[in-house]
Structure 1
Amino acid sequence: MKRIFATTTAILLALGTSAFAANSITTKGVSETGNTLTVPMVKANADGYLVIHAMKNGHPVEPQSVGHAAIHKGENDNVQVTLDHPLKRGQKYLAMLHKETNNNGTYDFGKGNTKVDTPMMANGKPVTKTFRLSANAAGMSSHKTMSTHKATSGKAMTNGSTNGVAGMSTSDQDMDSDAK
């Protein structure tokens, strides 16, 4: 028994903690400068993308996104997402993790192409986090805590499609895989 424990411990130490990184997105402290959104921390168990979606009527507008950035397996600090346009202050947005599935290094998920670079999942649901930006006195961006987003089967998406992603609805629990 002691030998099994010692062997298991040695394997875990050899692999390191990044081999078991929980998928998560930290939006506290998110900021925007021009067309660049900076997300403080993203943890991923595979290479992929941090994708930003607009929200409409409490649901993400999918499969279209307003920006994305490549992420690597493990911890990613200060992920800079190039946006199609500056975000609107006070509007809710959704950050979602996608995995690189076709090994071409390009984010390909989108309208008419939802079978590649699909969302990273935790407990059968996409890993997401909602946020909104608000202007402070100095004109800088600051994070405002929002209810988070959870996939719920049977709910229609904003665009009426369920192409490759389960329907979405708003919830009060993060879909970070390490959320309890």
Structure 2
Amino acid sequence: MTDTLPPERRSWNMGRIRSQHTKPELIIRSLLHRTGFRFRISNRTLPGSPDIVLPKYKTVIFVHGCFWHRHENCAKARMPNSNQDYWQQKFARNMARDAAAVKDLESQGWRVLVLWECDILRDPLAALERLIKDMEEDQEPQQYAVGLERSQILQLAEKKSRYLNPKSPSRVA
């Protein structure tokens, strides 16, 4: 099947895809902050520019989109029908770059955690719980109270998304 959009419109659409401040990233950042963790975002000095850096825990977090980073067995990681040679090369480069960044970070002594978009959007609190468990595997577990439901978390992320990207079109109901 060929692309139904003219090249100018497709280029415009692709240009609007964000690499920072995505909804899954905002959800994780908000939940981490609410549970008492303090972090830095998008540290360009580290290999791969991790989305979230927790220096106290010597941990970096990548929040990967399922499509761009090829989440295995995920429905969102489907191959586009048009221009498949380009997309296969693009995805192979993305995956190689991700693997190299993880290897470099681990060689520098960082713990690298990867969270996937679909897992975060499906159950943000479970993703947070897994993240905290992975971060504190060497330490005594602590109790963190978030006190939010899934719908509240998603509404909060949507609100922050509009604040951080005021030029993005608002959703039409």
Length-normalised TM-score, structure 2: 0.27
Bigger proportion of residues as helix: 2
Bigger proportion of residues as strand: 1
